[in-house]
Amino acid sequence: MQEQMSSHAKELICINVEKVYDWVVKDLSFEFSPASPISFPGLPATATTAGATVKCHVEPSPNNPVVIMNRENRTFKIDGSSVCLQQLTIQKNFEVTICITLANGTMYTSNSFPISRCEHVVMCAPKGTNVDVTYTDLDCFVCSTGSYQNNGNGTITFSNLSLSVTVCQSIQSTYPVTVEFLANYCEPRADLPTTCSPGTRPHNCSVVFP
């Protein structure tokens, strides 16, 4: 009969994980002004935009939200030592929608439209590593509404509308590796004891009946 392995016996285990080469947290803010007419589905041709309020919403693009455009080796002096790091050119792609609330309280949401911004990030990300960008915060707000008019064809033309986007991002360079270590095997926890509650009767309303 095969002897059962003790759960407290350590065993040399190999697992596949991602090694983090570098990790930085950065913030990014930028403004942009839509130049072309923006489509608002369902907007009546006779709707007046006088007294309307404008808000915006931004989210990562569903297709290629982050693209590494270039990876260039650069030498830096850190604590007196020469270190070869990589300057990454990262393109971030977003989808923006604009919500306009007319003076009568009716709200219309535009079709989404794409915007892109590029930035440089210096980190340890040698050729072959993956670069992962995670947004910890992504927000859009209207900096200046300017003026706007209903074109009568389901679109609105904005003049001097300034939208501001703020981004908090976690950027990691990673590479898949196989590591080994001594570990204990886990055991399932004990099941929680459950008991059936005794039958109960509802309270009487003796003050009113009988």
Structural domain count of the chain: 1
Domain span including residue 68: 12-180
In a domain, 20, yes or no: yes
In a domain, 203, yes or no: no
Q: What's residue 17's pLDDT?
A: 95
Single-letter residue type at 163:
L
In a domain, 206, yes or no: no
Per the prediction, the chain carries an average pLDDT of 89
In a domain, 4, yes or no: no
In a domain, 202, yes or no: no
In a domain, 166, yes or no: yes
Mean pLDDT is lowest, of 3-7, 84-88, 181-185, for: 3-7
In a domain, 124, yes or no: yes
In a domain, 97, yes or no: yes
Cα–Cα distance, 169 to 65 (Å, whole number): 13
Cα–Cα distance, 156 to 27 (Å, whole number): 32
Residue 66 has pLDDT above 60, yes or no: yes
158-209 pLDDT, tens digit each: 998 999 999 999 999 999 999 999 998 888 888 777 667 666 777 777 766 6
Q: What is the pTM of this model?
A: 0.75
Q: In what order do the strands lie in the sheet with 10-32?
A: 10-32, 162-184, 130-144
Q: What's residue 3's pLDDT?
A: 47
Q: What's residue 146's pLDDT?
A: 87
Single-letter residue type at 28:
L
